Each structure stands twice: as structure tokens, then as C-alpha cells.
Structure 1
């Protein structure tokens, strides 16, 4: 019982907090919050008592977040994960589901200025039945005062978990007759999850053309709908379009598996076709270069790098060095030079002095590559490149000193 008293005392103390906790101390406070929840571990509590105590923990939101800088999100994570998991664990063992619904309802109605209590509402679908979820939605759907949308937000949170498309539509229409794009998608997804792909497609078709927001998610949903309807040609067209928007070796394998391509020769033919599409493009995309490299088309990747060299930017400073090193390892020094130059030009052009050490490494790599290149083609030789570099950036002495 001492642990229970310690928990109750700790919660009461958090509610009374007035001292401000700066960012640097937020991690310490997060550990204290976690330790407070530890007080309930291993203690025999009835499910109802456990639920009420965790909800009391959520009621510390004003004392904790009203007096703290949680920019790192570490304190919020205690509520989002540990407290939520404990709430679900206790509530799942509680037979009186209406008691649970009323307890959560009381928590939300008291106010939720920091959107912490809403976290508890976001998991009710893990322990309430349809009846109690509808009960909550109907309470939140009451008339709002002025521009207050908190009731809609809460009803929407529960309706998404319930997954009933008709109730979800009703909740959305409470905000007006013209439904926003995200509502059309949500209702379509609810119909699809309710095993009605035809109605799901009719809702998805209401989304106007050209809407970029969540376009990838809607395309994925449409793909699933087409598959459920047996419209496999349309499904495959969407799958290939999605793949070509961001090629990768892993996505290629996943695509072939989904469309049912198992024949080795057919797989090779399809891969060769995709490699051909990349090589025919004059637009450089980093994902396409990685795709070529990962599918062991190093020579083709090197030739393509040369063809699209003017399109290559050096901002991908995490990936390009790896690719340049891989080119060097395969003897493709001209392609490696193109990538190292792109990196160095971008770095010096942006004046990122903290990265000058990396820039010096890039230039050393360029010097090393130059000793193995006989045919520079249309590229300037290394001596010409470094002379031009000195002319443009010669005053950046802190960079040049790194080469000594």
C-alpha cells in the first residue's frame, strides 16, 4: 500500500506544480513521471481502480505541461506510451464498459488545454465495444458554442476507431455539407474496411483531380480497392506508377511479388525495361541512381551520371559519398569525380564552414580519382577544376588549411 500512497502523493504534487522546468531538465522530469507509474507495477488493483488511477495521472497535464518546456517531447511520450498502455491493460480487464466510457468522458469534459487527455480518448477502441463508442460519439456531437470544434475533434477521434462509415460521415457532416478531401478519404477507407469496395471507390472518386495532399495514401487505397474488385489491370497500372515515382530495388521486388511475377526470365525482362527507362531520362533523380547501383548496373549508372551530370546537385551529402566511393571501388572514376565535384561545389557554394572538413576530404578524393582517369571526355581536367575552384573560393582560407 505504500506504493499506492506514493503514487497518490506524487500525482497530487504534480497537480500543484508551479516551478518552471526548462528544456534541459525535461528529461529528468520525464524519468520522474515514469517512476511514478512504476509505483503501480506489481500492485494488486481492481481493473476499475487501476483505470481511475491512470486517469488521475492524465489529470496532471496542467501542472506538468503548464510549467515545463517539453520541446523534446519526452514528457509527452510518457503519457502517449507508458500511461496509455497501462490504461488499456486495466480497462481491458474491466467488465463494466459503460463505467469506462463515463470515466473517459469525465476526463475530457474537464478540459484538455494541452491535448494530453485526448491521448486516452485515442485508445478507447482497444477496450470499448461498439455500443460504448457510439455512446461517446453522441455525447461529443452535442451543439458547439461559437467556433469551438473540440466536440467534433473528440467525436471524430472515436468515430475513426469505430470504423462505421455511416457514423463517420455523420460526424464529418456536422461541420458542413461540403466535405474536405481528408474526410472523403477517411469515409472511403471505412467503407473498404467494411468489405464494400464499390462504395469505397465511389467516395474516393469524389476527390477532385490534382489534390496533392495525401495523394500517395489515396493512390495506395485505390490500388487496394481495384484489387478487391478484381480490376487487376488498373491495379497494376497504379502499382507501376507508384514504383516509378521513387524506384528502389526493394520496392521492385515487392511490386513483382504483388503482381504475381515469379518467372525468372520475366523478372529479368521487367528489370531491364526499368533500367532502360532510367537511362533514357535526362532528369536526374537520386532514387534512380541508387536503384541502378543496387540492381548491380554499375556501368550503366556511371554512363548515366555522365549524361545527366549538369542535373546532379550535391545536397544529398549522406548518400552521394557512399555512391562515389562505390564507383571508385568499381573503377568508375569519372562517375565518382562527378559526384565528388557536386558535393564540393554545393558545400563551398553554400558557405557551410562547419563542413569544411568534409569538403577537404572530397577534394582529396578528387585528386585520387584524377590519377586514374585518362579520358576526361567533356569534363574539365582535375587541374582545370581545382584552378577554377581556387579562383571562386580562394579566400576561404579555413577550407584550404584543412588540406595541409
Structure 2
């Protein structure tokens, strides 16, 4: 049975309405966000009209503000934004869809100004606006605004959209805009007199309209000759042509990038090229290309696709070939990640002991979990990874990592008793002596070790 001092609904209700009201007033002193929440609750008791007025006042205040929101105020500001968003949807929406649609439109329109004066490095504020865009689509379906009016609203918003919120709305609002609205919006963009080559939002809007209408050529028309040679854009064009059954054109599009100047090749481009090859009946060529893609990137999805096309029993030998390739892959870190996630634990341990000099202790997000995973069956490999983390922290004076490095050193001591043969590597005692000679004056580290 819960104590009478436990914070739960029953115990708080027992205090009575007047006592709770006094407590709320006392608790919210100096807390503007909490006061705004209380005002919204009071307004909801008076009706959706009062709630809408409170929200409108707050949105106007945010729009007028010019003060910078730093990382310390970001979370509270995001919570305030989300409170307004939820109030629009849950309190105004059910009784006044048209009013809620107008409010959510005003809300999304705040994005440009907010981003310009906010440190949103975590994306917390942006996620609230993304949710608001989804809410806008849902409310539009209920409120059913005039398609031409909605198209004009979108056109006005798109012209000043620096962050790409509005173009992504077009596919969601397609059913509300209908053919008439989409054509009106497209005409408005093309006759706006704005240089589309310098306006990402308007170009993206035309791409969205083309996709909604299933017009592949209109989509392609939005890409310059130069961008069509970019692998990601080539993949987008080829995929649409393939879906339209225009296989030969898809093959031409996917091969538009200059092979000598492709640089980093996105996975989407590789997968789309494989799909086009299959559609052209080039099954063996597609399989060869899968291996080429795997061999240069160690992408596990390519390997799985390649192995799945092999007859029974041949896949074991083929997998061994792939793992052998991974052991000699140019990037130690990429190879380790692949072998651990495939998984091929035995080969991962071999990689570590064979190429210990290449361990990059800066990749703590990979080496830490991998070293822990190897402790039971491969204590030497686990030790070498932990030493890599320790060495990086000390050699680069990463003071914030010292407590983790100290923990790794203690773990190395525990593992040493289970290592049968250190082979060419230092024993734990020798490694410890080396650390003391090289980093003996780093007292903050040794203090954490003790």
C-alpha cells in the first residue's frame, strides 16, 4: 500500500482543490513556461476560442522576439513550442479544425526566425517543427481548405523557406490540393520570376509536384546537366525511370556520373544500378557488381545479396572469401566494424592481433563495445583494443577520457591473468611500466587509476 506522502493522483486529490491551487501558484512563481501551461488549461475550461487566443498571443510573442536561445535555454524553449503545438492539435483541433489549421500554419511559419536565433545542435527544436508539419497535413484533411487558397499559401511560404519545411508538405497535402491546386501551385512557381537555380525550396517543390503527378520527365527537368552526373541524383532519376518501365533510359541515367570522378559512392546509387541491371536481364553482371561494391566498402547488405544468389553449399566458401578480403581491407576500423556486426568474432580477433599497430583509439564508440564483447573468448584482442583507447587518451591529453582510460587499464589487469601468451605484445606489467615512463606526470589519470 502506497504511503500517504507518495506523489500520486489519489494523495494529491486529497489535499483539496483550494490547497492544490495555492501550491500551483507557489510552484510556478518565476517559471514562465509553467504559467503558460496553466493559462492554457484555464483557457480550455472557457472553450477552444480562449485557448486559440492564448496560443495566438504566444506565437506572436515568439515571432517578435529577437533574443538568442543558447544551449542552456534550448530544452525549455523546445518544451514550450511543443506545448503550443499539442494544444493546437488536442484542444483546438477537435472543436475548430479550421482555426487549428490556421494556428498550425502560423506555428510552422515560425521556423525560419527560430532557427536563426537558436542553438539547435541537438535537433530538438527542429523535431518539434517536423511534428508540426505532420499535424498540418492531418488538420488540412479535416479542415479541407480551399485548394487554390492553400496553393497560394504554399507559394508565399516557399519563396522564403530557407530550411526546406514546405516542399516536403506537398506530397502530404496532395489529396487536399487536388489536381487543380497542384497545377495552380506549379504555375505560380514557374511564373514567379524567381531564379529557381538559386531557390532550393521552389525547385524541391516542383520535384514533389512531379512525383505526386507521376511525371518523371518533369522531375528530370528540374535537374541541371551537372547535377544529373552526381551519383545521388543519378540514382533518383534512374529509380523513377525504372518504376516507369523505361529501363534503357534508367541505365543511361545511372551511368551518367563519370567513373573516374565519382569519389564517394552512395549506397543508393549502387543498389539502383544493380536493380537496373536485373531489369535488363544482366544477372551475372549484377552479381559481379555486388561483389565489387562489397569489396570497396565492406557493406554487409551487398554481401548478403551476393551470397543469397549462390547455390546451396557454395555460400560457405564464398563467405570465407569475403571474410578473408575483410582481413586485408585498407581501413582497419571499417574492417573491424564489419567483422563484429556480420558477425565473425574469430576473424575480428585475428584482425586485431595481426594489425594492432593500426588501432585508432579515437573510435571509442566502436572499440569500447567491441573490447567488452571479446573479453570472454579473446582476452588478448580485447586487451589490445583497450590499450588503444588508453594510449590515445594519454598521448593526446584527452583529460575528459582519463577516467575511462583508468577503467580500461584496470580491465586490462584483470584480463592479463587469462591471456596464455602475449606473443610479440608487452605483458601487462611491461605495458604499465611504459605508461609510467611516458605519462607518469599525468596525475589526474593516475589518481583515477588508484
| TM-score under structure 1 length normalisation | 0.81
Deviation at 1:343, TM superposition (A): 1.6
User: What is the match of residue 441 of structure 2?
Assistant: 395
Q: Match for residue 60 of structure 2?
A: 15
1:302 corresponds to: 349
Give deviations 1:58-78, integer Å, cap 9, x for gaps: 344577556655554434333
- Pairs within 5 Å for 1:105-254: 105-108=155-158, 111-112=160-161, 115-118=164-167, 120-121=169-170, 123-125=172-174, 127-129=176-178, 132-142=181-191, 143-144=193-194, 148-149=198-199, 151-173=202-224, 178-182=226-230, 183-209=233-259, 210-212=261-263, 215-247=266-298, 252-253=303-304
Please tell me whether the aligned partners of residues 248 and 287 of structure 1 are also in contact (alpha carbons under 8 angstroms).
no
Alignment partner of 1:256 is 2:304: no
Once the two structures are overlaid, the 10-residue window that deviates more, 350-359 or 160-169, is 160-169
Gaps spanning 5+ residues in structure 2: where? Answer: 1-45
The answer to whether 1:41 aligns with 2:93 is: yes
1:359 Cα deviation from its structure 2 partner: 0.9
**Does the CA contact (< 8 Å) of 2:48 and 2:96 recur in 1?**
no
| Alpha-carbon shift at residue 391 of structure 1 (Å) | 1.3
Aligned match of 2:333 in 268, 280, 286? 286
Match of residue 370 from structure 2: 323
Residues 98 and 284 (structure 1 numbering): CA distance in 2 closer, same or farther, change over 3 Å?
Answer: closer
Which residue number corresponds to residue 319 of structure 2?
Answer: 271
In structure 1, which of residues 25, 28, 34 is the aligned counterpart of residue 79 of structure 2?
28
| 1:167 Cα deviation after fit | 0.9
Question: How many angstroms apart in 1 are the aligned matches of 2:355 and 2:162?
Answer: 53
Distance 1:88 1:172, change over 3 A: farther
Greater relative CO (CA pairs within 8 A, separation 6+): 1
Quote the offset at 1:333 in angstroms.
3.0
Where structure 1 has 5 or more consecutive residues not aligned to the other structure, the ranges are none
* C-alpha distance in structure 2 between counterparts of 1:290 and 1:338, whole Å: 16
CA displacement at 1:363 relative to structure 2: 1.5
Matched, 1:312 2:363: no
Give SS of 2:424's match. coil
By how many angstroms is 1:16 displaced?
Answer: 4.6
User: How far did 1:112 drift?
Assistant: 3.7
Q: After TM superposition, give the deviation of residue 250 of structure 1 in Å.
A: 7.0
- Structure-1 separation of matches of 2:113 and 2:176: 28
